[in-house]
Structure 1
Amino acid sequence: MSFVRNFEPEGRHLHGGYRSTYDHANYAKYDAVPASLKRRKYAAPAWEDSQMYYLPYTVQNNFSSANFQAPPTRSNADTSTSASLQLDWSIFEDDKPSFMSRDEIDRYSPSRKDGIDVRHETHLRYSYCAYLQNLGMRLELPQTTIGTAMVLCHRFFVRRSHACHDRFLIATAALFLAAKSEESPRPLNNVLRASSEILHKQDFTMLSYLFPIDWFEQYRERLFEAEQLILTTLNFELNVQHPYAPLTSVLNKLGLSKTILVNLALNLVSEGLRSSLWLQFKPEHIAAGAAYLAAKFLNMDLAADRNIWQEFQTTPSILQDVSQQLLELF
């Protein structure tokens, strides 16, 4: 298997951030809802299983707009049985980024309370990342902006359950926010049109004939609600640091800036966006793990330079952990 693709540095467009073998058209491949979830509204968009138009739940189910921003109320029994699945979310309210272990992310995800196991949630994460990559490419956004949107979604769903929120709507709003925060904004109507075409697999001009006359305005309102929900859930913290800069900086110091190692390591970083690594490690740690794994693929011995891992400010255990999680993506 070849892992090498053409990588374009930050600020330029990378259209090969994911393996070409990934089927971007089938985002809902893993959306089968467990029987235990049939008691509640599951966050599968209507386009996945019917010809219903993509409207806010406020329209489809006659809910008030406030209901969109809060998960369904659980019974006392549900609350008591899930007491062990609690985490002190105040750690995310500091100015400096806080990190969780992989075990904490897997065990304390709000989706566990709704019957979504780790494997299912992983597939849901992959699906919204593939969708974001497709949407970002259509909007000609830099890869760093697309990556920021993915990380914002990861941060959102480590606090909110997949069973209560439409991940594709959240992803669309996250990309709209990321484009603004990364100083590469796109007009809202352009984002909505492109996302509608991807979700419905129809040219935008055809959608006006298929859906009610005000469907686009309702979709716009729903995205505004999702944008506000993301901001409040993340405490208005949209800053995301990526490993691209520390990776290229350290390898440049070693005289490896124009080698296949850099290209492969950068692509491994882009692949890693599908994982929860950004919730677990600092950017330089992810960069080190990507460089370490790339060197192993190429049978290169980076350990010959004893200062390289010190440059990344990392340890052998972190190297092993990051590289192993990257390897699991293939």
Structure 2
Amino acid sequence: MASRHLLNPLAPLDQPTPSSLDGIPEELERDLRAYGGILIQQVGVMLKAPQVVMATAQVLFQRFWFVTSLKHFGIRDVAMGALFLSSKLEESPLRIRDIINCFSYLESLVAYCSTPPYPPPPSFDAYAPMDYFATEFYDMKDALVIAEMQILKRLGFQTQCGLPYGHLVNYLQVLELTGEKELVRRCWGYCNDMLQTPAPALYPQGTLALASIYLSARLSSPPIALPLEPVPWWTHFDTTEDELVHVSTMLLRLYKDWGNDPLGGGKVDGERNGHGGFGVVGRENVWRRAKRIPVTKSGVREVLAHLGAGNGVESSPR
């Protein structure tokens, strides 16, 4: 991965991902990345981890797939490893057992919610925690430890993660938008949800913050006009409109696929739903879509075989 900023190593925009070179369709890769980020966010909320832990874990998760193919590691294992590593990096350590139990619970919940009603009833009781000495528990524990090691190895121990929140606060102050409470809330939620896309591994954290302002201003009712004269406002922050449009497009596609499309007759909620974002977690479409997302590498390979993309000689792990 190239680097435009020491604290935020970035992947080249024009470089194909290892997954695409392995024949994984773009839509499947997008879904796998998004679902891994959603799992990290959900487990972090369940364990009452600070948002910085979940955000850092999602950045590491997204970076990992620019150096490794989704054909060689399952998103569940890498998500667990990223969250465990992030909790240590941010000095808010989480217990391995708690992480495993939460991921296992969410898997059971998705299976349970494969049919309506949505969301699941609060009295969901189909889940039985694994016994501490169960083979499944030790398999998941080994997978978590291996995933953490692979993240460190394949990222060259570059675990510094610049997050967009500080930039967002500064930019809102410069643009005199801090009084627009609804816009500020939307921006914060957009920054959180962008971490479920490849954007944090492709663009500097400042660009993510600017894209959240750009999108929020346009989707506000009525739209909020930001200065375009003598030069467009984003040029003062060392970015281009093309970059803002690209990041915004990735986020809108996430909402369209997983949540509620604000451009397709719906709107992005003004409530955080307790999950730090807008329009993704907690929606009916999440349960439907999650049901068909393979969380293991064997599941991904089965999907590829079904699509006819798994034929031929498999590449070896990089």
Q: Which category describes the TM-score, using the shorter chain as reference length?
A: 0.5 to 0.7
CA-CA distance at 1:257 after TM superposition: 1.6
Give the letter aligned to residue 265 of structure 1.
Answer: C
Instruction: Note if 1:277 corresponds to 2:199.
Output: yes
CA-CA distance at 1:182 after TM superposition: 1.7
Q: 2:243 is matched with which residue?
A: 318
Secondary structure of the corresponding residue to residue 162 of structure 1: coil
**Residues in 1 aligned to 2:94 and 2:28: alpha-carbon distance in whole angstroms:** 32
Mapping of 1:178-189 within 5 angstroms?
A: 178-189=86-97
Give the conservation status (yes or no) of the 8 Å contact 1:287–1:312: no
**Residues in 1 aligned to 2:77 and 2:50: alpha-carbon distance in whole angstroms:** 21
CA shift digits 1:42-87 (9 cap, x unpaired): xxxxxxxxxxxxxxxxxxxxxxxxxxxxxxxxxxxxxxxxxxxxxx
**Residues in 2 aligned to 1:315 and 1:100: alpha-carbon distance in whole angstroms:** 18
CA-CA distance at 1:212 after TM superposition: 7.2
Q: What is the identity percentage for the equivalent residue pairs of Structure 1 and Structure 2? A: 27
CA-CA distance at 1:324 after TM superposition: 3.1
CA shift digits 1:121-151 (9 cap, x unpaired): 1111122122112111111112222121111
**Residues in 1 aligned to 2:75 and 2:156: alpha-carbon distance in whole angstroms:** 19
CA shift digits 1:222-255 (9 cap, x unpaired): 3211211111011111111111111111212343
CA-CA distance at 1:206 after TM superposition: 4.6
CA shift digits 1:186-240 (9 cap, x unpaired): 12222222222223447775533xx974442343223211211111011111111
**TM-score by structure 1 length?**
0.64
**Residues in 1 aligned to 2:6 and 2:190: alpha-carbon distance in whole angstroms:** 29
Q: 1:226 is matched with which residue?
A: 147
Give the conservation status (yes or no) of the 8 Å contact 2:64–2:154: yes
**TM-score by structure 2 length?**
0.66
CA shift digits 1:15-63 (9 cap, x unpaired): xxxxxxxxxxxxxxxxxxxxxxxxxxxxxxxxxxxxxxxxxxxxxxxxx
Count of residues in Structure 1 that have an aligned counterpart in Structure 2: 235
Mapping of 1:71-110 within 5 angstroms?
A: 91=2, 97-104=8-15, 108-110=16-18
Unaligned runs of 5+ in 1: 1-88
Give the letter aligned to residue 156 of structure 2.
Answer: N
**Residues in 2 aligned to 1:101 and 1:222: alpha-carbon distance in whole angstroms:** 29
Q: Larger radius of gyration, structure 1 or 2?
A: 1
Give the conservation status (yes or no) of the 8 Å contact 2:61–2:78: yes
Query: Aligned pair in 2 of structure 1 residues 205, 326: CA closer, same or farther (>3 Å)?
Result: closer
Give the conservation status (yes or no) of the 8 Å contact 1:173–1:226: yes
Q: 1:117 is matched with which residue?
A: 25
